Chain A
Amino acid sequence: MLGYLFYILSGLTILTAIMMIAARNPVHSVLYLIATFFMVSGQYLLMNAQFLFVVNIIVYAGAIMVLFLFVLMLLNLNKETEPQKSMKTKLAGVIAGGLLLITLLGALIKGNVSSENLPITDIGLVKNLGRVLFTDFVVPFEISSVLFLSAMVGAILVGKRHNGETEVISE
């Protein structure tokens, strides 16, 4: 039962992901991406990673995607404004990506990842994760505050409208 669910979810993940790439309209892309995230969250759930399931939905589907949509709307890009890439570049991109996939697969297949069923565990529960996070991984946790702070400052620094001179040097 769970096995089937896994395959269905996987199929849907890949499908929505492809749709996201293929969609002309950026807004559609965003929507497809949100769908993808939900599928991925479903996978987490399948693996009993409850914490990640929740965080994924909140952070990704909730916060990040809203940010995306917000920017899209702000910049008024919800049209199919994007000029198409030339066929050649596209083809090159597809081929390169495909090749990367194939070589990776080829390389990894050599490895022997046993395909036994995943045991259901409870390490993904908030309680367990929290303990690990605040014991073993407390240092990175603290340090990630630097990251956030700098991201915040940076976003403001870059994103805020310049007062005073507005002339743009485009030379």
Chain B
Amino acid sequence: MGVLIRRNGIVLLMCVELMLNAVNLLFTAFSTYFQDSAGQIFVFFIMVVAAAEVAVGLAILVMIYRNTKSVDISLLDKLKH
């Protein structure tokens, strides 16, 4: 939900992380419930991906900030229609 109402790119990114965490929790719960370790392995991979994503995402944000001096996503509307 945070993704939907915040404009700050970094906070948006954090919200995405939050979402991933929620999914992680779900996986772990299922995993425990099923007595199946695959779920937890999956969580591990999600964490891997999340880390990679954050790295790239933050790099992009930095690049944007360097060019526009802002991380406000609603200012980005050069490309439309």
Identify A49's interface contact among B32, B55, B59, B66, CB under 8 A: B32
CA distance A148 to B74 in the complex (A): 30
Chain B residues with CB below 8 A from A129, complex form: 37, 40-41, 44
CA distance A161 to B60 in the complex (A): 12
Contacts of A68 in B (CB 8 A): 10, 13-14, 54, 58
B7 touches A85 (CB 8 A): yes
Are B40 and A51 closer than 8 Å at their CB atoms?
A: yes
Count residues of chain A with CB under 8 A from any CB of chain B: 67
Q: For residue A37, which residues in chain B have a CB less than 8 angstroms away from its CB?
A: 21
Contacts across chains A and B counted by CB atoms under 8 Å = 177
Instruction: Give the residues in chain B near A60, CB-CB below 8 Å.
Output: 17, 21, 47, 50
Interface size on B, residues (CB 8 A): 54
A26–chain B nearest beta-carbon distance, Å? 6
Residues of A within 8 A of B (CB): 17, 20-21, 26, 29-30, 33, 36-37, 40, 43-44, 47-49, 51-52, 55-56, 59-60, 63-64, 67-68, 71-72, 74-75, 77, 82-83, 85, 89-90, 92-94, 96-98, 118-119, 121, 123-124, 128-129, 132-133, 136-137, 140, 144, 147-148, 150-152, 154-156, 158-159, 161, 168, 170
Q: Which residues of B come within 8 Å of A, CB atoms? A: 1-2, 4-8, 10-11, 13-15, 17-18, 21, 24-25, 28-29, 31-33, 35-38, 40-41, 43-45, 47-56, 58-63, 65-67, 71-72, 74, 78
